[in-house]
Structure 1
């Protein structure tokens, strides 16, 4: 695990990228600026320089984050990787905000229950791949071996078993239920990862939309709210774009109709741009 000051500087760095990206600054320029703004006594400036070099060569930074996995966690790398894919559902600015909130949370808490719920809710709200996302979560150094084993179990059972049931089954509240019905000797045969509070919340949200579970957990565990992509009304921008596309479609339809009737007269496309005679150039 990194020192607290590393996560404090990471949160600042991701926040700076989020705020300044799109303000006539390229990501390459922002990385160069951020390298000099963050605390020089941390390892982050060297990590940023490595990201900058990778961006120059490949146009992405996720491969560099994977190469320095001792500094950036697999989950951080996965979030950036999903934002850099051509067909990804996660945009880069939302990914930066996710990483900013997570780094802030790491700098002030090591609550594994809160981290699991924040990361899992991130996958859910942003419609990311659960299989790859949970695999990345299981490799996070924050989690103990018992947690990593359970996360991989969730990875296998998700879709067949409700997430609220999976949490409730590993809670102290479930142990109390067993003791009430089976006697005081009825202990769980597996590690208990959640307390009574989390178990009660999970039980109350069984067979419900998982978003209700996440909202209740976030209120009681006080982990950061999960960012999600904001849907903006771009009607004013879309109208001229649609107008240009319709014009291009109309032109293509006219060409197809002419070709079917008597062929296309291509001379009209370059008549107005016909080059000057050689004698005039001389």
Structure 2
């Protein structure tokens, strides 16, 4: 009998590993990603017009391709929105269709703090799905998603956990991403990337050192050289260099609207109201104010601004 005991009823570790392998999400077909990008774009544009998300889902479910699974997913989202007013719980239950990172972005946009807006989340999700359509690599997808966390000041712990479950990553990638949670803030990002790159492996071999217990070597030589050149610098410089030299996609940045655009019309309406009030005060001062014109039946005779 084995000396290793386990609690009654718990499956052996081999069974647990098999179950995890079965439940790991798989990449979707290209047409699913194309329709997702279309949906996120429409939602982003129409939510900017202050349209309720419930009405949008009602309308847009007829605009997406019926041969995909997206209409069924939208039906489920619509049911959850009617019940709780939130999208994230339904997306989490559909982990086979929506990635954990997409669910995390929507959940953060639905927080009461209001720091991360729904429009920002939809714009990021649209860009991410388009990157998948173009043939995303694990290295490019990780750098894109991690830059999203950096630029929008999202939680590294929860964000990296969501990233590690993306179907584009294999077990080596997922294990390394989860290990980053304890290293971010203590070790620079450029050093973390360099130590798992083929450039670091090449230098070890040239120096005659063993690569045993090193790695896993997930990034290429170019990524390693760029990471080494950006040590002790702002991580945003590293992202910019990788995007220039390797063509990685840029994270969408929301353009802030100018608050002074509507300032002139607002001032004009206020001046009209002030002129009307001053006119009333002058009439009252001259004892010539006729209050009968403010009666209900004489309302149509008034020439006051709306």
Matched residue, 2:138: 112
1:87 to 95, 103, 113: 113
Do structure 1's residue 208 and structure 2's residue 236 form an aligned pair? no
Matched residue, 1:178: 204
How much does 1:189 deviate?
A: 2.9
Matched residue, 2:36: 10
Instruction: Say which SS state the counterpart of residue 42 (structure 1) adopts.
Output: coil
2:159 to 133, 157, 171: 133
Residues 88 and 166 from structure 1, CA distance in 2 versus in 1: closer, same or farther, beyond 3 angstroms?
A: farther
Matched residue, 2:215: 190
8 A contact 2:101–2:159 mirrored in 1: yes
Structure number having the greater helix percentage: 1
1:229 to 247, 254, 260: 254
Structure of greater Rg: 2
Do structure 1's residue 217 and structure 2's residue 242 form an aligned pair? yes
Instruction: Say which SS state the counterpart of residue 62 (structure 2) adopts.
Output: helix
Matched residue, 2:49: 23
8 A contact 2:48–2:119 mirrored in 1: no
Matched residue, 2:102: 76
Matched residue, 1:50: 76
Instruction: Say which SS state the counterpart of residue 252 (structure 2) adopts.
Output: coil
CA deviation string 1:72-128 (max 9, x = no partner): 000000000001101142111010000000111112213000000000000000111
How much does 1:220 deviate?
A: 2.8
8 A contact 1:175–1:188 mirrored in 2: no
For residues 64 and 186 of structure 1, what CA distance do their matches in structure 2 show? 45
8 A contact 1:126–1:228 mirrored in 2: no
8 A contact 2:195–2:215 mirrored in 1: no
TM-score (norm 1): 0.80
Matched residue, 2:224: 199
| Larger RCO, structure (CA 8 Å, separation 6 or more) | 1
Instruction: Give ranges in structure 2 of 5+ residues lacking alignment.
Output: 1-26, 267-306
Q: Which runs of 4+ in 1 moved over 6 A?
A: 236-240
8 A contact 2:123–2:252 mirrored in 1: yes
TM-score (norm 2): 0.74
